[in-house]
DNA sequence: TTGTACGCGTTATCAT
DNA sequence: ATGATAACGCGTACAA
């Protein structure tokens, strides 16, 4: 039923190798036969079978992108960047959404190994260091993380430094009782950034001030923030592991009647589009997500080209974006700072 | 380098067929050899090559999901639902992001045909009816759309009816000069819903009231709304093709100093999470996206099982969600309607 | 310039 | 219960 090289060759009265040649543009072929073969290919709507091709070439021209939650707006941007580069280079991408589940993540790694993907991008892994090392040893990977195994190539996000900067910002604004809301108890790089900022300023961190959630969504953060603010009403500021958590906190404050930033200052992380769309707009740390995805894929291409022998990390830069959720606003109207300036804006 | 059946067979002192049998759980195998083979497989970390498997079986256990923009929060949810079902059934999913570009969409369809995917889910296609028919004839597809080709199976979204309902809501609130902002000029199902509502109520639609954009994002909608409201300041309400467009409109109103809903009522479509997070919260039409993705994948499985001979559409239900952006708010505090009710909420 | 024959790793058909 | 062998569709030596 399905058209193969054989069919095209027979129909064109040539050998399959000749057809193969015109398809891959190799060797010298007479213009006449080339044209004829091309026509037959069109007529028969022939399409090379990637499976067969991959079987012999040992390459599948596919890569896997492993992420915890595509519904977190952080990841679609990363995906976009990675996919753009992948497509440019003829690669397709398998999307592997792990639902924040380490076991599902490992299962996907295995599955993708079976698919003989040429490489794997792991972003926002929920694996522990040992597991990640293990995966990196057996596969060609490009890891996007703030805790990259030394043995694996990838993109390094200065998350601890970023959160530290954000927390320091709160401290500079005069806050002393600052809490943290984030993933826990294991994935604590960001929390460490918060703790570092507190330590550097000789500020105590009460254990009740740190709240852990199992996944970062507006809803889970909303619940967690509600509990946190009940247990630790003395907090005047909250550092959140990402913007979704910060938005959940905003909602919790609204529900509790606490005004932001007056009654509670809030900082997020990631600078997803949502951060600038909520009220008050979030002060947060910008991560160039599209670039990160792009760089991760470029790095993966290098790993593939280097036959796996490459373990370089590239560190991206992040920077704070000050908006309204901490009360330290510099001029300008709240509504249009992050969009192009409209012409003739009325007062 | 890579471990094959052969290696396992040799090491276990059996034929490759025997190994194949224990892997696929076929035929009668003595417990002894089965155990031994299993052990060797573990030792060698053997993994069946899907490419080879697919070559002979004619199946790749992979499907393609084609979407215009993963950064539109509509699609991640659809993806999640589709992926969950896919994984349950042992399928992997290729993500094909077309960037709203019909040519890239067609290119992806071709590419995926080469990959010998077992089926394709097309969601939010930018192809015209003829192109879509064409694709549906040559591939096993499940199409998520509000304009499903009769010949193809899929999930049908009552977008026109939904927009009509939303626009009618505006009309019931007393609005007469209502505009529409959406994708154009081709993909106009939603616009038609708006026009139907206006027609049913004998209201005119000035050509200046309908604004087309080439893609639906906050940013493009912001620009478009700015222009629209300048050209047609007489509008008192705006029906938007989706929530992102509605949020862009909200931003434009903020920039122009027009209050929502007082100076302009706004309705969206999709009910993405963002809709309930902006201020004022959007009145919109809820689409059960996760369910849609799930159903689409289930439908695709049926198409595959039926050997492509299936063209049934399943229509999903949508419903209006009234929030604050039209001024027709029923009781309750704005902030917590869409999250679980907190205990002991202060006044 | 073009063709033949083999192998990629697996499943399936027959034997034994 | 197990094994030899032929496909699957394509690329690559090696010939011609």
Per residue in A16-75, pLDDT (tens digit) is 888 888 888 877 778 888 888 899 999 899 999 999 999 999 999 999 999 999 999 999
Predicted confidence band of residue A252 (pLDDT cuts 50, 70, 90): very high
pLDDT, position A31:
81
pLDDT > 70 in chain B, percent = 94
The DSSP line for A322-346 is --STTS---SS-GGGTTSPPPTT--
Mean pLDDT of all residues in B213-238: 97
Q: Are strands A284-286 and A237-240 parallel, antiparallel or unpaired?
A: unpaired
Render pLDDT for B257-299 as a digit per residue (tens, 0 to 9).
999 999 999 999 999 999 999 999 999 999 999 999 999 999 9
Nearest to B162 by CA among B292, B336, B329, B293: B292
Nearest to B265 by CA among B252, B250, B276, B286: B250
Residue A342 has pLDDT above 50, yes or no: no
- Hey, what CATH class is A62-157+288-316 in? alpha beta
Asked if A169 and A284 count as a contact pair (C-beta separation under 8 A), the reply is no
Distance CA(A272)–CA(A247), nearest Å, equals: 11
Residue A340 has pLDDT above 80, yes or no: no
pLDDT > 90 in chain A, percent = 79
Contacts of B94 in chain A (CB under 8 A): 62, 92-95
Contacts of B346 in chain A (CB under 8 A): 256-257
Render pLDDT for B175-191 as a digit per residue (tens, 0 to 9).
999 999 999 877 689 99
Whole-number distance in Å between B12 CA and D3 C1'? 14
Q: Which residues contact B21 (CB under 8 A, 6 or more apart)?
A: B27, B29
Stretch(es) of chain A classified as CATH 1.10.260.40: 5-57
Nucleotides of D under 7 A from a protein CB: 1-5, 7-13
Nearest 5°: the CA angle A190, A195, A198 is: 135
> In terms of C-beta density within 10 A (0-12 exposed, 13-18 middle, 19 or more buried), how is residue B243 classed?
buried
pLDDT, position A32:
82
Name the H helices within chain B.
5-12, 16-24, 31-44, 50-57, 74-88, 102-114, 129-138, 159-172, 189-200, 218-231, 243-256, 273-277, 289-305
> Among the listed ranges A210-224, B274-288, B325-339, which one has the minimum average pLDDT value?
B325-339
Tell me the Cα Rg of chain B.
26
* Chain centroid to CA B260: 29
Mean pLDDT of all residues in A155-170: 97
Helix (H) or strand (E) holding B94: strand B92-97
Tell me the Cα Rg of chain A.
26
Render pLDDT for B46-56 as a digit per residue (tens, 0 to 9).
999 999 999 99
Cβ B16 to strand D below 7 Å = yes
Nearest to A154 by CA among A311, A309, A10, A43: A311
Residue A327 has pLDDT above 60, yes or no: yes
- If you ran DSSP here, which 8-state letter would residue A260 be given? T
Whether A97 and B115 lie within 8 Å, measured CB to CB: no
Tell me which of 3.40.30.10, 3.40.640.10, 3.40.50.2300, 3.40.630.10 is the CATH number of domain A159-285+320-336.
3.40.50.2300
- Chain mean pLDDT for chain B: 92
Nearest residue to C12 via alpha carbon and C1': B56
> Among the listed ranges A150-159, B235-244, B337-346, which one has the minimum average pLDDT value?
B337-346
Q: List strand residue ranges (DSSP E) for A101-185, in order.
A: 119-123, 141-145, 154-156, 178-183
Cβ A5 to strand D below 7 Å = yes
pLDDT, position A187:
65
Nearest CB neighbour to A278, from listed B52, B112, B277? B277
Whole-number distance in Å between A10 CA and C3 C1'? 13
Predicted confidence band of residue A335 (pLDDT cuts 50, 70, 90): very low
Whole-number distance in Å between A169 CA and C3 C1'? 74
Q: Which nucleotide is nearest to B50 (CA to C1')?
A: C10
Superfamily designation of domain B5-57: lambda repressor-like DNA-binding domains (1.10.260.40)
The dihedral over CA atoms of B63, B67, B70, B75, expressed in degrees to the nearest 10, equals -90
pLDDT, position A55:
93
pLDDT, position B160:
96
pLDDT, position B338:
42
Render pLDDT for A83-133 as a digit per residue (tens, 0 to 9).
999 999 999 999 999 999 999 999 999 999 999 999 999 999 999 999 999
Render pLDDT for B11-20 as a digit per residue (tens, 0 to 9).
888 888 899 9
Whether A71 and B50 lie within 8 Å, measured CB to CB: no
- Chain mean pLDDT for chain A: 92
pLDDT, position A185:
79
Stretch(es) of chain A classified as CATH 3.40.50.2300: 62-157+288-316, 159-285+320-336
Cβ A49 to strand D below 7 Å = yes
């Amino acid at each position: 039923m399905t058209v193969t090289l054989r069919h095209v060759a027979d129909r064109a009265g040539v050998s399959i190798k000749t057809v193969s040649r015109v398809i891959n543009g190799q060797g010298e072929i007479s213009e006449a036969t080339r044209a004829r073969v091309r026509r037959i290919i069109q007529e028969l709507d022939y399409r090379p079978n990637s499976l067969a091709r991959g079987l012999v070439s040992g390459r599948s021209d596919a890569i896997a992108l492993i992420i915890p939650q595509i519904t977190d707006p952080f990841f679609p941007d990363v995906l976009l960047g990675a996919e753009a580069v992948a497509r440019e280079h003829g690669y397709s991408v398998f999307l592997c959404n792990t639902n924040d589940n380490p076991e599902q993540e490992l299962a996907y790694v295995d599955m993708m190994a079976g698919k003989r993907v040429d490489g794997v991008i792991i972003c926002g892994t929920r694996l522990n260091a040992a597991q990640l090392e293990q995966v990196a040893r057996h596969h060609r990977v490009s890891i996007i993380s703030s805790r990259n195994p030394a043995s694996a190539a990838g993109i390094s996000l200065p998350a601890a430094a970023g959160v530290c900067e954000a927390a320091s910002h709160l401290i500079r604004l005069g806050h002393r009782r600052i809490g943290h809301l984030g993933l826990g108890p294991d994935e604590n790089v960001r929390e460490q950034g918060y703790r570092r900022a507190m330590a550097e300023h000789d500020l105590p961190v009460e254990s009740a001030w740190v709240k852990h959630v199992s996944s970062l969504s507006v809803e889970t953060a909303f619940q967690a923030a509600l509990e946190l603010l009940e247990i630790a009403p003395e907090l005047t500021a909250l550092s959140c592991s990402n913007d979704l958590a910060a938005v959940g906190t905003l909602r919790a404050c609204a529900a509790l009647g606490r005004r932001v930033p007056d009654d509670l200052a809030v900082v997020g992380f990631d600078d997803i589009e949502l951060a600038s769309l909520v009220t008050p707009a979030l002060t947060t740390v910008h991560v160039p997500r599209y670039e990160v995805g792009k760089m991760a894929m470029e790095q993966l291409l290098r790993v593939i080209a280097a036959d796996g022998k490459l373990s370089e990390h590239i560190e991206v830069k992040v920077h704070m974006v000050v908006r309204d959720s901490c009360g330290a606003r510099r001029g300008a109207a709240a509504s249009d700072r992050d969009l192009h300036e409209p012409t003739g804006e009325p007062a």
